[in-house]
Amino acid sequence: MQLSSALDLTPFIRKGDHVIWPQGTGEPTGLTARLMAQAEALQDVTLVLGMVTTATLAHANANKFSYLCLNGAANTRKAVALSGMRVIPAHVSAIPSLISTKRIPIDVALVRVRPTTDPSIFSLGVMVDFVHEMIDAARVVIAEVDDRMPLTGGDTLVARDKIALLVAADGDEPVIQDVIPSGVDAMVAKRVAELIPDRATVQFGVGGMPVAVSQALRSHKDLGLHSGVIPDAVVDLIETGVITNRFKGIDEGISVTGGLFGTRRLFDFAHEYASLHMRRAAYTHAASTMIQLNAFHTVNSAIAIDLSGQVNAEMAGGRYVGAVGGQVDFVRGARLSPGGRSIIALASTTPDGKHSKIVADLAGQPITTARSDVDLVVTEYGVAELWGLDVPERAKALAAIAHPAFRDALERRFEASGGN
């Protein structure tokens, strides 16, 4: 088996092709490095990207490709800038169908796999979300064989005959370190944890706020886990018995996620761990799944939220830095769950303290989550329960949890707008 760095990609990638690889830790870094190195030999190729967390797009040849992006988070911001804002605003729950129906075109898929005891079957290891749909849609699938990945259960298995070419992995192992929460994140997380009862099922992603929430849940009992991706911080909750999955309603005894966004700590924990299942986005983000979960409490964040409750989780300062992602799927899924609540958790200001994240209006910024869907909003100053409130009541509740330096101005702006 040849090394991925020795592979000539030109016989496999045709002029005008769309090339995709899995998000985050699922990236086959040997293949993607080779793709960048051979960019000048490829013609009119478009890269279709989710969240890229490696330095791949920092390569000098990155500008030789066109880009079609599913979000602008992490290092995908580079691709968004190069593409001229070619971003598909799609909920995660919609992406599998968009790929399968070729609304998102895929010609070549580059993936990571791990051998199993059956030579005709490989495991996707750390990332499942919509990787199966990528593989099924592609004309050519090239896979790096990487024994560093864990063997995980659920939807990870892929047949050898779906893969056109296997090469040995020789790139750096993609890992995602947990972000160290700020003091403000910890304050917000404490309020979030107070809203989540024992025996609830929880969802959270990656970043400083989810890590802070994980830490704040350490005294809880019998929580369940159902999430799109999980960070290292989840391991502590499972090992200490906080997450038991005993009362989930479905998948009882099993933690469910679509991806492992962590380091060796998470990967080693997940290896052959029978109580962790990797599931497709078509399952993790489906309303039909979440309606069966007990007391599903979802925790998501925002770049800004206006006084009517509209959430922007995509753009800041005119730049695409976030994503539609799974936020709306999980906000709505929590409302469907018996006893469930959705929580938008954010610091009241930008890190420099100069700008309020609670604003009078979004002023042309994207509306990721509609005000009609938003339930609970949490900052370090309190909780605004918006569900069932009219617009003036929402404005009053949100202004009350804004940073004190901005409250009066927010109230004046709202009154000047006529309270709409």
Same domain? 161 vs 191: no
Same domain? 63 vs 204: no
CB 286 within 8 A of CB 330: no
pLDDT over 90, % of the chain: 93
Q: pLDDT tens digits, residue range 380-394? A: 999 999 999 999 999
**What are 414's strand-pairing partners?**
none
d(CA 272, CA 292): 26
Tokens standing for residue 353 = 């303290």
d(CA 144, CA 202): 33
Query: Model pTM?
Result: 0.96
Same domain? 146 vs 192: no
Average pLDDT over residues 14-40: 98
Average pLDDT over residues 253-268: 98
Same domain? 193 vs 302: yes
Same domain? 123 vs 194: no
Same domain? 126 vs 212: no
Structural domain contains residue 173: no
Tell me the pLDDT band of 84, cut-offs 50, 70 and 90. Answer: confident
Structural domain contains residue 174: no
Average pLDDT over residues 357-386: 96
Same domain? 204 vs 263: yes
d(CA 246, CA 268): 23
pLDDT at 11 over 80: yes
Pairing state of beta strands 341-345 and 376-379?
parallel
Q: State the burial class of residue 358 (Cβ atoms within 10 Å of its Cβ: 0-12, 13-18, 19+).
A: buried
pLDDT of residue 418: 66
Range from 86-90, 170-174, 225-229, 317-321 carrying the lowest mean pLDDT: 317-321
Q: What are phi and psi of 111, to 5 degrees?
A: -135, 170
Same domain? 386 vs 281: yes
Structural domain contains residue 116: yes
Structural domain contains residue 376: yes
Tell me, what CATH number does 68's domain have?
3.40.1080.10
d(CA 276, CA 114): 17
pLDDT at 287 over 70: yes
Tokens standing for residue 96 = 């599998």
Domain boundary among 137, 168, 199: 168
pLDDT of residue 415: 79
d(CA 327, CA 331): 6
Structural domain contains residue 177: no
CB 353 within 8 A of CB 400: no
d(CA 396, CA 60): 50
Domain boundary among 141, 168, 195: 168
d(CA 152, CA 97): 24
Structural domain contains residue 389: yes
Structural domain contains residue 178: no
Average pLDDT, the chain: 96
pLDDT of residue 1: 82
Left, alpha or beta for 264 (phi > 0: left; psi -120 to 50: alpha)? alpha
Tell me, what CATH number does 298's domain have?
3.40.1080.20
Tell me the pLDDT band of 36, cut-offs 50, 70 and 90. Answer: very high
Nearest to 149 by CA among 243, 53, 266: 266
Q: Which residue has the tokens 């490989």?
A: 122
Same domain? 301 vs 245: yes
pLDDT of residue 419: 62
pLDDT of residue 416: 76
What is the 3 state secondary structure string of the chain? CCEHHHCCCCCCCCCCCEEECCCHHHCCHHHHHHHHHCHHHCCCCEEEECCECCCHHHCHHHHHCEEEECCCCECHHHHHHHHCCCECCCCHHHHHHHHHCCCCCCCEEEEEEEECCCCCEEECCCECCCHHHHHHHCCEEEEEECCCCCCCEECCEEEHHHCCEEEECCCCCCCCCCCCCCHHHHHHHHHHHHHCCCCCEEECCCCHHHHHHHHHCCCCCCEEEEECCECCHHHHHHHCCCECCCCCCCCCCCEEECEECCCHHHHHHHCCCCCEEECCHHHHCCHHHHCCCCCEEEEECCCEEECCCCEECCEECCEECCCCCCHHHHHHHHHHCCCCEEEEECCCECCCCCCECEECCCCCCCCCECCCCCCEEEECCEEEECCCCCHHHHHHHHHHCCCHHHHHHHHHHHHHCCCC
pLDDT of residue 420: 61
Tell me the pLDDT band of 417, cut-offs 50, 70 and 90. Answer: confident
Beta sheet of 311-312, edge-to-edge order: 311-312, 304-306, 358-359
Residue 300 domain boundaries: 183-416
Structural domain contains residue 15: yes
Domain count, the chain: 2
Same domain? 111 vs 242: no
Average pLDDT over residues 280-285: 98
Same domain? 131 vs 80: yes
Nearest to 7 by CA among 169, 167, 146: 167
pLDDT of residue 309: 97
Q: pLDDT tens digits, residue range 233-259? A: 999 999 999 999 999 999 999 999 999
d(CA 185, CA 211): 9
Same domain? 218 vs 361: yes
Q: pLDDT tens digits, residue range 133-184? A: 999 999 999 999 999 999 999 999 999 999 999 999 999 999 999 999 999 9
Domain boundary among 109, 139, 168: 168
